[in-house]
Structure 1
Amino acid sequence: MRDSLATRPAESSAVQVTVPDVVLRGVPFGVTLTGLDTADGALVRAGGRTVPVEVADDGTLSASGLTAPDSGPTTVEVLWRGGAVATATPRTLPGWLSIVPPLLAIAVALVWRRVIPALFLGIWSGAVLVAGVTPGGIVGGLFATIQVYILDALADEGHASIVIFTLMIGGMVGIIQKNGGTQGVVNAIVRWASTPKRGQTATGLLGLTIFFDDYANSLIIGNTMRPVTDRLRISREKLAYIVDSTSAPVASLALVTTWIGFEVGLINEAVAGIPGLTLDGYGIFLESILYRFYPILALFFVFVIAFTDREFGPMYDAEHRARTTGAVLGPGAKVDAAAEDSELFAPPPDKPHRGFNAILPVLVLVFGVIVGLWVTGEGDTIREVIGSADSYKALMWSSLAGVLTAVLLSVGQRILTLDETLDSWYEGLKSMLFAMIILVLAWSLSATTDVLHTGDYLGTALSAALPPGIVPALIFVLAALTAFATGTSWGTMGILMPLVVQLMWGVMDANGLADPEHFYLLYSAVSCVLAGAVWGDHCSPISDTTILSSMASGCDHIEHVRTQLPYALLVGLVAIGLGTIPTGFGFPWWLSLLLGAGVLLAVLWFFGKPIPGHTEEVEVDEA
């Protein structure tokens, strides 16, 4: 990443002061010094404030707590032995300009509903503010967007590790789909589905089983379970709801998925810009799972509905129609012709479909991460080990081991030739390229907000206006609105994560809560970006996973959105009202989950109605 500090020539050849590229009016900043024999008596003055020079443990000389004047340029002076020995003049901007790049990215994403142009324009605007809003700065900022920020994002070793890991996971998913492993897992569960309740439960269980990728989850389960649920007179709307509500939620919660590299990469980038915070991105990810109330409660609600066979709203009408008339589609339903099985990853029809060929690579992947974290970490407790471990190494080692295991199983059993295996790996890898573009652009946008001190400004501006406990809830709503308008949870995370993590930390620091006892606020803020993005994604008619769920389930897309929306809204309101807000003020997360689950049960019991008819067992062919 680009270093946000630029060395300025000092008036004295012996002493130099290094100042930020940009300082914001009213926002404290710091400088570093070289060339001084000792810090004794050395002072730094800026904006009418003078602070002493301090010595860090590594011997670095610095001064912090400086502020820019309300108007005019900022002059930084180093005072030593009775005179000014070095000066520098960083560019000074009004604080509100620092939030322009992320706000522009959000606004463009909302209007254009395209996340890549939104992120690119956000980076460009940040580069222009750093260079100066002049014709030369506009042109120079455009070239700096790719030459400085995007290039540095790709060149970073940690970023490259995340990209490699995610691509390898996508390749592994492609192999285990092509060798029939995932189909074998599906077949094992399908044999048990013989009633509508069991059919819905089996579909939900498959959603938990195929946890490693939300796209694979939607396509595999929708296409596989569609003939089964049709025979059981389960409406296509209900199938699409179960598929949609067990794809992104489980992928956002599982410990090893195609999401994990993306999420950890964003979290690491966000916390890297916070001085004094040494938490590891993977450790924060693990802690944040406890506060992801919407995905957890969404999965819970799927199984509650399946077990009770009660519905309300438009879904009741759809299920009543299917059970009593056998019409799994409503009159005039429009079904995409692409709802037929995809041939891209279809396993060879003359080869056995063994679930073992999917389970073993996934187990190698999961346990590989655990072993990698244990080997590279230190400490007496699990939390200490994970917090100090090199998650990049663990993820890369495990992804390679998982891919090699999938290759050996496919070729060793002569299910696929080596060429076919490599082709399926490549196709799986290609499915992740779009997400990787978003991730790299998100890293680049984060670099511009770091240079512009956006997080510092928000923390300073909002610390007095916002109670820390309410900030995660606001983040949840903002993420949901962004995902709803853009239709992408990944794009939402890419835009918001670098911004809101620094905001949350700034508010915590300003209120004296930047200590381990209150880290739950940071975990909750991270979880709310992810959970809010999933919620908005579920409610959005332009969401990629919502469209895939409709397509794979053979359901009219508008009917899927219309019937799912009341359920998603209910779970979302319960998640924020009984989960995110109370835990922001110290309420135990586990008690919030229990209360949320209880309220969902009560609402379903009092407002839901049992579905009549067709409860006898039906013989179901293996998918």
Structure 2
Amino acid sequence: MKSLKSVSTVIGVALLLLAVLCYFINWHALVPAFTVLGIAIITRKALEPLIIGCAIGFILLAQQGGSAEWFPEGQGMIFPLNMFDGLFSSIARDAHDGGLIWVILVCILYGAFVQMVVASGGIKAVGKYSENHVKTKKQSLLMTYWLSFFFFLDDYFSALSVGNTMRPITDKFGVSRDKLALVLSFVCVPLTIIFPISTWTIFYGTQLTSIEGGVLDGKGEAITSPIEAFMHTIPYNFSAWISLILGALVVYEFLPDFKGIKEAEATVVIKEEKEKTSKKDKKEGKVIYFLLPLLVLIFCTVFPYPFDFDYWGPSFEFDINYIFGSIDALRGIATACVFVYFYFLLFKIVDFHKISDNFVKGLETITFVLAVLGFTYLLKDVQNGLGFNEFVASHLEGISWLNGSTLPFIVFALVAWICWATGSNWGIYAILVPTTAILSTQFHADFWLTQGALASGTVWGAAACFFSDNRVLTAQSCKVDMMKHGISQFPYQLIIFVVSSVIYLVAGFIL
């Protein structure tokens, strides 16, 4: 473990030196990102590096006179006044756009939902039921892998639910929590971008259908459905497919553990837990306490309410675009929380005080996550204020060997590292989907392959980033240090990146 820390320190120092170099050659847009990554790798912390990176970004903005587009109120302000003003501006802007509010509400309600189900004994019952079928360490990892496929609607939901459900079982069989988190990282994010019913599907598909001039299907007709548009990219989301395959190789033990995971596995101590029977807790949880809320969550996420006759009325069609055209993760989790609350109270599964306490406890467990997310949004805005996107675009245009065959590879590689460096993924869609569409037309590249490369790059960046929202939630549910988890799973992510890059490069010349 000491050698791993030494390597991490060397990499972190190298990134900080790179940030200094970028400052002196006036590549200011890259300084905050390299600073955050360097400090995060050295300290293995998430929040502090983001705060420092944002502070350095605002120092640079103060030197340049501020950003007229991103922080107009802070023009001419000195540091740290411009940072306080910028934090307010960033939150207000993202809240006005709805993106930040949506993420906050989904996060805190998922936290409350999971905590209430845990309090009912439902998740523990799933664990006990699983123990009747899980007899070995390998089987516990297999169950973790395949159980994740049932939580395809959202990566937040998958990370929180599967981690909390499987952690007691994998602990029992001596699986390190680092490896549990690794298996989740193989599935949670990739699954949401190759399954046609997810929050990522709707968002990305909407960006595609919003492209000026529209996008056409194979018959030359304009595509208006986000689901239909998204489904054209599924075969080309190579990094997501490779991640699922690599995850299977790990859990089926066809691929040996790399150094970080191997060291974590070697330090695991299996603790024999003696269950104490409490007179106060005579009731045992049942699997139905987990399954019924889950079914309500899935149904209300995919479909509108049964009394919504505008949807279920005479115009209802048995068409995938119609049925799945109204997916709403916030509606689903909000409804599920209300259902769980009253279901547990009415049937006296959990008493009023206990369910209320656990509801609040669930909200509190996401506080750190929300703080990290808030500064991630701020970092993104700071980099935009420093001209990060324009910097990338200008250097992309300067590549002499950029053509229709190499464009998918360049888009994937560039977007992957941008998302890895910034922790942003959905924001990248809004910025680069139209740009990628223009470039694919300009260079006569395959449109869907290029868009698939864009989606694939964001997925890889989100899964590989040390401080992305999914990394935070995965570490939270597996009860493992976030930076330790990020570093231990990164070698596997590099394999995914290299293999995907090769495939995109080959596909660009073939298609």
TM-score by length of 2: 0.66
Look up the SS of the partner of 2:304 in the other structure: helix
Per the alignment, residue 369 of structure 1 pairs with 301
Partner Cα separation in structure 2 for residue 516 and residue 409 of structure 1: 54
Partner Cα separation in structure 1 for residue 273 and residue 507 of structure 2: 44
Query: Aligned in 2, Cα 1:340/1:565: closer, same or farther, shift over 3 Å?
Result: farther
Query: Aligned in 2, Cα 1:129/1:585: closer, same or farther, shift over 3 Å?
Result: farther
Alignment of 1:356 onto 2:315: no
Partner Cα separation in structure 1 for residue 143 and residue 32 of structure 2: 41
Residues 170-227 of structure 1: CA deviation (Å, up to 9, x unaligned): 2212211221222222222221123565444334334445662424533442322322
Per the alignment, residue 250 of structure 1 pairs with 187
Partner Cα separation in structure 2 for residue 456 and residue 521 of structure 1: 20
Partner Cα separation in structure 2 for residue 503 and residue 443 of structure 1: 17
Per the alignment, residue 351 of structure 2 pairs with 417
Q: Answer yes or no: is the 8 Å Cα contact 2:33–2:53 preserved in 1.
A: yes
Query: Aligned in 2, Cα 1:107/1:509: closer, same or farther, shift over 3 Å?
Result: same
| One-letter identity of the residue aligned with 2:53 | A
Partner Cα separation in structure 2 for residue 270 and residue 122 of structure 1: 29
Partner Cα separation in structure 2 for residue 276 and residue 398 of structure 1: 33
| One-letter identity of the residue aligned with 2:347 | Q
| Higher helix fraction (1 or 2) | 2
What's the C-alpha RMSD, in Å, of the aligned pairs?
5.2
Partner Cα separation in structure 2 for residue 435 and residue 141 of structure 1: 24
Partner Cα separation in structure 2 for residue 349 and residue 290 of structure 1: 50
Partner Cα separation in structure 1 for residue 363 and residue 117 of structure 2: 13
Identity %: 15
Query: Aligned in 2, Cα 1:436/1:204: closer, same or farther, shift over 3 Å?
Result: same
| One-letter identity of the residue aligned with 1:425 | F
1:213-224 to 2 correspondences below 5 Å = 213-224=158-169
Look up the SS of the partner of 2:66 in the other structure: helix
Per the alignment, residue 14 of structure 2 pairs with none
Residues 330-354 of structure 1: CA deviation (Å, up to 9, x unaligned): 4xx37699x999xxxxxx9532222
In structure 2, which of residues 403, 421, 427 is the aligned counterpart of residue 498 of structure 1? 427
Partner Cα separation in structure 2 for residue 302 and residue 199 of structure 1: 14
Per the alignment, residue 170 of structure 2 pairs with 225
Alignment of 1:186 onto 2:127: yes
Query: Aligned in 2, Cα 1:447/1:567: closer, same or farther, shift over 3 Å?
Result: closer
Query: Aligned in 2, Cα 1:110/1:463: closer, same or farther, shift over 3 Å?
Result: same
Higher relative contact order (Cα pairs below 8 Å, separated by 6+ residues): 2
Partner Cα separation in structure 1 for residue 262 and residue 90 of structure 2: 50
1:356, distance to aligned residue in structure 2 (A): 1.7
| One-letter identity of the residue aligned with 2:115 | G
Query: Aligned in 2, Cα 1:157/1:265: closer, same or farther, shift over 3 Å?
Result: farther
Bigger radius of gyration among the two: 1
1:402, distance to aligned residue in structure 2 (A): 1.0
1:128, distance to aligned residue in structure 2 (A): 1.0
In structure 1, which of residues 471, 486, 500 is the aligned counterpart of residue 410 of structure 2? 471
Query: Aligned in 2, Cα 1:226/1:150: closer, same or farther, shift over 3 Å?
Result: closer
Per the alignment, residue 534 of structure 1 pairs with 463
1:583, distance to aligned residue in structure 2 (A): 5.0
Look up the SS of the partner of 1:129 in the other structure: coil
Q: Answer yes or no: is the 8 Å Cα contact 2:66–2:77 preserved in 1.
A: no
Per the alignment, residue 499 of structure 2 pairs with 574
Per the alignment, residue 129 of structure 1 pairs with 67
Structure 2 unpaired stretches of 5+: 1-24, 41-48, 216-223, 275-279
Query: Aligned in 2, Cα 1:362/1:292: closer, same or farther, shift over 3 Å?
Result: farther
Partner Cα separation in structure 1 for residue 443 and residue 297 of structure 2: 35
Q: Answer yes or no: is the 8 Å Cα contact 1:291–1:523 preserved in 2.
A: yes
Partner Cα separation in structure 2 for residue 454 and residue 382 of structure 1: 42
1:145, distance to aligned residue in structure 2 (A): 0.8
Q: Answer yes or no: is the 8 Å Cα contact 1:166–1:261 preserved in 2.
A: no
Partner Cα separation in structure 2 for residue 269 and residue 125 of structure 1: 35
1:366, distance to aligned residue in structure 2 (A): 1.7
Per the alignment, residue 360 of structure 2 pairs with 426
Q: Answer yes or no: is the 8 Å Cα contact 2:58–2:382 preserved in 1.
A: yes
In structure 2, which of residues 110, 113, 127 is the aligned counterpart of residue 172 of structure 1? 113
Partner Cα separation in structure 2 for residue 116 and residue 262 of structure 1: 28
Structure 1 unpaired stretches of 5+: 1-95, 231-235, 320-327, 342-347, 483-491, 588-623
Partner Cα separation in structure 2 for residue 448 and residue 199 of structure 1: 43
Partner Cα separation in structure 2 for residue 516 and residue 436 of structure 1: 39
1:408, distance to aligned residue in structure 2 (A): 2.7
Query: Relative to structure 2, which stretch is displaced further, 148-157 or 376-385?
Result: 376-385
Q: Answer yes or no: is the 8 Å Cα contact 1:244–1:545 preserved in 2.
A: no
| One-letter identity of the residue aligned with 1:401 | T
